[in-house]
Structure 1
Amino acid sequence: MATLVLSVVGGIVGGPVGASIGALVGQQIDRNLLFAPKARQGARLTELALQTSSYGTSIAQVFGTMRIGGCVIWSTDLIESRSTSSAGKGQPKVTNYSYAASFAVALSGRPIAGVGRIWADGKLLRGAAGDFKAATGFRLHRGGEDQAVDPLIAAAEGALAPAHRGIAYAVFEHLQLADYGNRIPSLTFEVIADAAPVPVGVIAAAVSDGLVGGTVALSLPGFAAHGDARGVLELLGAASGAWFVPAGRTLVLRDGRAVEATLDDAGCGAGERPGAQAVRAFGALDGVAQTVTVAHYDAARDYQTGLQQARRPGAGQRVARIELPASVSADTAKTIAAAELARGEAGRERRTLALGWAALGVTPGACVAIAGAPGVYRVASWSFEHDVLTLDCVRLAAATAPASASPGRVLPAPDAVAGTTILHAAELPPLDDSLPSAPRLTVAAAGTEAGWRGAALLYSLDDGARWLPAGATTGVATLGVLASVPGIGPRDLIDRINTIEVDLAQEGMSLAGADAAALDAGANIALVGDELLQFGQATQIGARRWRISELLRGRRGTEGAMALQAAGDRFVLLEAATAGVIELPLSSIGATVRLLASGIGDVAGPVAVTATVPGRSLLPLAPVHLALESIGDGDVRLRWVRRSRAGWRWIDGVDAPLGEEREAYRVTLIGGAGRAIETTVPELTVTAADRAAAVALQVRQIGSFGESPAAEIALPAL
């Protein structure tokens, strides 16, 4: 490790003759870097993975790409918002509260290039594509010396707001906290300081303010320098197998790749033989580690902590552990462990050499070869007495072959992009047997990508002059567009002739068939254009394309829309878990409603749609089976069958429930004066006199909130 030179820097750094000059240089390095008070060493891995907010916490310097917890350096109080909703007429109103927070997190004590993914409580808050999974404003300050004060911090703190120059930090503005228990979550950041792996020598130079440099073989894809400089340098030395050597007023790292001198087998330089022979000694095997463990961060596993071990056979029980706050692969960590183990075994062999004047240039830290002895040695200590130079040399391990290792099971956090919102809204008849007392707009939504989870809704009844909150969308609906248009089919029988092809919005969406019992219970009902239909079979014929068949058409009074579909019209599978309802005032009947949906993927702005409110959710259905019967003298009796907006399943088989406060109808004579006649039974006698100028009859049921659409029959001429 770094112990070779640290004990002799003060006296040896200036050379064998200029010890006093070297002492001055050594003292400067001692005070400023290596022998500063040892109050805190380098970071343990757990420290980098946790977000902190304590005053005085040191901020890591990030190199390469690392996952960092950071430190909260500024925050506001929780920001409370509330909204009121009602479950319907006669139901109490409910006040809903939501919370957000604005805060800043310091990421690195040196400038960075950017931030990739962000995790909140272990789940992705920001994906690899830069998309956020929860609503928030976000700004990144990269740590330049000229960076400006963040506008939010400036607005809150005034003229004394710091710019935090030299510190990279992120600002979250109004981060919604509903997904995190209404508290600021524990955040970790994929910090990108440098685009490529960083050599260990470059890291050493940066953390020591240029006092330590050099080149070694090891480069790290990511590293967090945390704690005091001495601890970081010792850790870099341990990981790379390098040691520190004086070089003028600085130290350099060496790793034994270059041999600086070759000594003869007697321990003397060429032509110099003072008579002393080399002394070879071996340390006890149990004095070196039997197992070396390297703890590291594994980028292939979302920077989760990994452990790799190297173990030697033989005596001993010592275990060495290197806590490496670096993102390296499992193979690299295994190679580092094996190399440290090999260095320990090789270092058992030591040679003491007695040399003459010619070898005075061989100083502590030098990498030498000894003629007749295998391997390469590091000069561990140096003494010069009675014209004899004595070197204590330690055997260096041969280069370690790259090892292979398994990183373990990879369980990355899901990273699905939300995409933009797809929104559909329509006023529909109730899909159950309820009788609403106000117009209801059915809303279904999804996203263009699999990560979409919801969007906030606003609606306007006055063409955008005033917008009202409508809560949020309900679930992720299965929806798409028509790829083929069905023909007109029977209303009362299963349509086994026509099929419909549908392109769903995402590949992950699917449809399933339903048997007769499930269809009778209301399964597989879909809005196709403006028609409600059910389907018994669904077959996938492409990545997103499905064919549905065995159709029940014109459900709940929508038979009039069967001939109006076109390619590209909406397809929405209506399910209770994904179809929300907006209750509108009675005055909205006949109006057009504008809706805005805003999800986290709608970066270009809210998605806008319009929907008309003809009263389908409140008004009676048009009567059916109109028939005329002549009763003499030119008079005719008109009969019809009413329909109900309740009791669609016809459980008792006798008569559908009325569904209105009273039974009443209005019959209008088309032609002539257009006389209208009201009746409380589903029939009416039309006299010859009334028929004289009339050409047709229209029948409307009078409901509690208005009249049904008209059913019409032509009158034969008298």
Structure 2
Amino acid sequence: MATIVFGTLGTILGGPVGGAIGSLIGRQVDTSLFGPSSRKGPRLTELAVSASSYGEVLPRHFGRMRVAGSIIWATDLVEHSETQGTGKGSPSATTYSYTANFAVALASRPILGIGRIWADGKLLRGEAGDLKVAGTLRIHTGVGDQQPDPLILSAEGEARCPACRDLAYVVFEDLDLSEYYNHIPALTFEVIADESFDLADVIGDLADDTDAAVPLETIAGFSSSGPLAESLQVLGQIFPLGADAGGEQLVIARERLQDSAVMLPEAAVSASDESFGGASGFTRHREPPPERPSSVMRYYDVGRDYQASVQRASGQAGPGEPETIELPAALDAASARALIEQSARRIDWTRDRISWRTCELDPAVAPGSIVTVPGIAGRWRLRDWEWREGGVELTLERVAPAGADVSPDLLADAGRANPAPDEPLGTTTLVAYELPLDSTGAGLDTPRPFAAVSSSTANWAGAALYADHGDGDLHPLGQSGRTRSVTGTVTANLPPGNPLLLDRVSQLEVALGDPAMQLVSATMEQLADGANLAMAGEEILQFAHATPLGDGTWRLEGLLRGRGGTESAITAHVIGEPFVLLDARPVPLDPSVLGNNSGRQVAAVGRNDPEPVTVPVLLSGITLRPLAPVHPRRTILADGAWRLNWTRRARGGWQWQDGIDMPLVEQTETYLVTLGPLDMPAALWFLGEPQLDISSAQLSDLAALAPGGQLRVRQQGTHGLSEPLSLCTLP
């Protein structure tokens, strides 16, 4: 007699079949298939992280599962250095970053592919197959003609680089570790092993001559990391399985081969005193309830990114701690609740047992068969049978009536999930510009270039910034960081305004790059302190009121125009020009690296940018350029001469104080007055004070030389000329 221990179904006898039923096949069936009799089922691993221990078991995965894998090859971390600030007179800074090359084995059977990948709990690879950090991923599915990985082959040589056929693994090449504190992160992988699978796939070629085409309904994935017996044992607690080893094949869940239940013959009476049942030939009894009934099931919840979850069967709790079924399978909460409910109800029905004696041999009746017995209602499953001198003794257990093991419509909550966001990587937007000298007056001879770097989505890892001096060579300016500047475009033309007054009429409409970005209103006192400073085109302005119009569009009102000496840009607005909020988010650039060539550009290269983003520098030279003089005045003297006066301004002197002249920030106070076109003046004067006297005779000569010509004045600074101020027009 041979017995096969099989989950909660207990011992099923594999009987003799030879002709009708044949001779006994012995215990070798049991030991070869299931191993020793003392076993424990597989346990959930709580999404353990990747290991690299020798002798680590590589599981077989079915369906779709989240697994950790085992690191099977790696190189030392690769160090990368970048030096910035190498311009004349500026200190240099060297930054270091690290990348890694390594391989992770995932499954000991071929798979279809890889889905998402988590690194330290964050998504490293999204559902669409996009890596969230820099690097290259190669997937080897473990097919029979799999070739060696080229990176491992080049590093180890052909003699030391196996193709790892029938082993699914992935290789990371130059994986950027800056997001993971410069160490290889803890990785878990969503393995897509099969589109669908059943019990026959789980058994595979581990057991020959086995018929196990049992569907595993509602299970999205399953992992087998130990002997086959462990997997069958745990599945047998959830699905009603039975094994018949009496034929040429081992048949699992034999009842699926029946069209209807087999009617047993009348019970045979035995005269032996040791026989059960006496004159009836059968006995019926009810097994006591298990000390620790299986009413709790742990599983991987697909709705919570495969995190371990628990479902409990309903009903009154018994004494002691209930038995927990550790099911290494991926399910949704509703399916898991239904399975544990059905299992609990099924176990309660199988406690009803019958011992039945028969002298007739029926090949259709074997362990696992569904039968009916004369005079007793219900259907019964044959657990085992034993050939004795007085007949064949059958052990039957009750099969739950139709619908009795169907779980009621109960709520199943897996708990709140906080999945890692899987947003597409954003592309980089860039606006480069210079700012006027600030009010501190520090760095009088140093430009103030900035880069407003942003993206249309928060899933953006920043960009590397470079300077292009106009020759196509890129010079590193450093990293932008992940903080996005508030940028957008002007959607409606901004009319001209007076830079000396609060513009209560004009409206500036802008569309921000990300609708989630926000603008806020400010009081007049806050505006006086420098709040809501922005740049539209090449005009710097401030706004008091910000009104959202929907979809990231805003209307800005209460404008202070032409701030920072940008009055000349008030009339130069066009639709589509850039908008930048000038707060602390834009990145300062190294002016020594950026240079001062007229064709200079700033370039940004982000993780998801198909091409480098290059832009010119707006407001180029405004930091060092003197401000245009203001308040032109013309006085006609008694002799007919003209006296022209104006008021100078100083770079960085934004806080006007009555009675105090702003200090000059240039080396000398010099002015250039021109008549006619700026590039080809008819006359010019170099002055050391803000005044020009033109005699009546000179006026006549100038009027004849350039009739109707305009007189303009520009301040000559240390580094250049200011914008012109129109003084007057000749007759």
TM-score, normalised relative to structure 2? 0.88
Deviation at 1:321, TM superposition (A): 1.1
Say whether residues 1:702 and 2:716 are aligned partners: yes
Q: Distance in 2 between matches of 1:698 and 1:474?
A: 47
Residue in structure 2 matched with residue 647 of structure 1 by the alignment: 653
Q: Distance in 1 between matches of 2:426 and 2:593?
A: 35
Q: Structure 1 residues 448-457 or 607-616, which shifts more?
A: 607-616
Deviation at 1:92, TM superposition (A): 4.6
Say whether residues 1:515 and 2:523 are aligned partners: yes
Q: Distance in 1 between matches of 2:570 and 2:293?
A: 80
Residue in structure 2 matched with residue 131 of structure 1 by the alignment: 130
Q: Distance in 1 between matches of 2:712 and 2:187?
A: 68
Does structure 1 retain, via aligned residues, the 8 Å contact 2:535–2:580? Answer: yes
Residue in structure 1 matched with residue 76 of structure 2 by the alignment: 77
Q: Which amino acid aligns with 1:58?
A: V
| Change in 2 beyond 3 A, CA 1:385/1:426 | same
Residue in structure 2 matched with residue 299 of structure 1 by the alignment: 302
Q: Distance in 1 between matches of 2:502 and 2:169?
A: 64
Unaligned runs of 5+ in 1: none
Please give the residue correspondences for 1:166-177 in structure 2 after superposition, counting only pairs within 5 Å.
Answer: 166-177=166-177
Does structure 2 retain, via aligned residues, the 8 Å contact 1:288–1:318? Answer: no
Deviation at 1:354, TM superposition (A): 0.8
Residue in structure 2 matched with residue 376 of structure 1 by the alignment: 379
Q: Distance in 2 between matches of 1:15 and 1:641?
A: 121
Structure 2 counterpart SS, 1:339: helix
| Change in 2 beyond 3 A, CA 1:589/1:596 | closer
| Change in 2 beyond 3 A, CA 1:63/1:447 | same
Structure 2 counterpart SS, 1:522: coil
| Change in 2 beyond 3 A, CA 1:206/1:336 | farther
Q: Distance in 1 between matches of 2:562 and 2:341?
A: 74
Please give the residue correspondences for 1:211-610 in structure 2 after superposition, counting only pairs within 5 Å.
Answer: 211=210, 213-216=212-215, 218-246=217-245, 248-254=247-253, 258=258, 259-263=260-264, 266=267, 276-285=280-289, 287-290=290-293, 292-313=295-316, 316-317=319-320, 319-359=322-362, 361-386=364-389, 388-398=391-401, 399=403, 400-403=405-408, 404=410, 405-430=412-437, 433-436=440-443, 437-473=445-481, 475-576=483-584, 578-585=585-592, 588-602=595-609, 604-610=610-616
Does structure 1 retain, via aligned residues, the 8 Å contact 2:136–2:173? Answer: yes
Deviations 1:138-193 (A, max 9, x none): 22222222222222222222223222222222222222222212111101112222
Deviation at 1:59, TM superposition (A): 1.6
| Change in 2 beyond 3 A, CA 1:11/1:556 | same
1:665 to 671, 678, 684: 671
Question: May I ask how many residue pairs the two structures share in their alignment?
Answer: 704
Say whether residues 1:716 and 2:722 are aligned partners: no
Deviation at 1:90, TM superposition (A): 7.2
Does structure 2 retain, via aligned residues, the 8 Å contact 1:104–1:171? Answer: yes
Q: Structure 1 residues 304-313 or 484-493, which shifts more?
A: 304-313
Does structure 2 retain, via aligned residues, the 8 Å contact 1:457–1:595? Answer: yes
| Change in 2 beyond 3 A, CA 1:208/1:630 | farther
Structure 2 counterpart SS, 1:422: strand
TM-score, normalised relative to structure 1? 0.90
Q: Distance in 1 between matches of 2:86 and 2:691?
A: 39
Deviations 1:188-247 (A, max 9, x none): 112222234x33343233664764623246351111222222212222222223122226
Q: Structure 1 residues 131-140 or 680-689, which shifts more?
A: 680-689
Deviations 1:280-337 (A, max 9, x none): 112222x353451110111111111110011543754352111111110111111221
Does structure 2 retain, via aligned residues, the 8 Å contact 1:265–1:372? Answer: no
2:617 to 611, 629, 632: 611
Structure 2 counterpart SS, 1:106: strand
Q: Which amino acid aligns with 1:708?
A: S
Q: Distance in 2 between matches of 1:359 and 1:673?
A: 121
Please give the residue correspondences for 1:132-211 in structure 2 after superposition, counting only pairs within 5 Å.
Answer: 132-159=131-158, 160-196=160-196, 198-205=197-204, 208=207, 211=210
Q: Which amino acid aligns with 1:30?
A: T
| Change in 2 beyond 3 A, CA 1:385/1:443 | same
Residue in structure 2 matched with residue 27 of structure 1 by the alignment: 28
| Change in 2 beyond 3 A, CA 1:282/1:10 | closer
Deviations 1:365-410 (A, max 9, x none): 2222223333322222212223511111122334522453112212
Deviation at 1:8, TM superposition (A): 6.3
Q: Distance in 1 between matches of 2:167 and 2:54?
A: 15
Q: Distance in 1 between matches of 2:503 and 2:146?
A: 68
Deviation at 1:485, TM superposition (A): 0.9
**Pairwise CA RMSD:** 3.1
Does structure 1 retain, via aligned residues, the 8 Å contact 2:143–2:166? Answer: yes
Does structure 2 retain, via aligned residues, the 8 Å contact 1:439–1:589? Answer: no
Q: Distance in 2 between matches of 1:422 and 1:122?
A: 28
Deviations 1:53-94 (A, max 9, x none): 112212222211111111112212111122234599977543
Q: Which amino acid aligns with 2:654?
A: W
Deviations 1:255-279 (A, max 9, x none): 85655412256479xxxx9954220
Does structure 1 retain, via aligned residues, the 8 Å contact 2:261–2:379? Answer: no
Deviation at 1:482, TM superposition (A): 1.5
Deviation at 1:709, TM superposition (A): 2.7
Structure 1 counterpart SS, 2:489: strand
| Change in 2 beyond 3 A, CA 1:598/1:240 | farther
Q: Which amino acid aligns with 1:189?
A: F
Q: Distance in 2 between matches of 1:189 and 1:372?
A: 57
Name the % identity.
37
Unaligned runs of 5+ in 2: 270-276
Structure 2 counterpart SS, 1:704: coil
Q: Distance in 2 between matches of 1:277 and 1:586?
A: 101
Q: Distance in 2 between matches of 1:586 and 1:179?
A: 27
Deviation at 1:461, TM superposition (A): 0.5
Q: Which amino acid aligns with 1:504?
A: L
Does structure 1 retain, via aligned residues, the 8 Å contact 2:126–2:132? Answer: yes
Residue in structure 1 matched with residue 629 of structure 2 by the alignment: 623
Q: Distance in 1 between matches of 2:672 and 2:593?
A: 22
Structure 2 counterpart SS, 1:49: coil
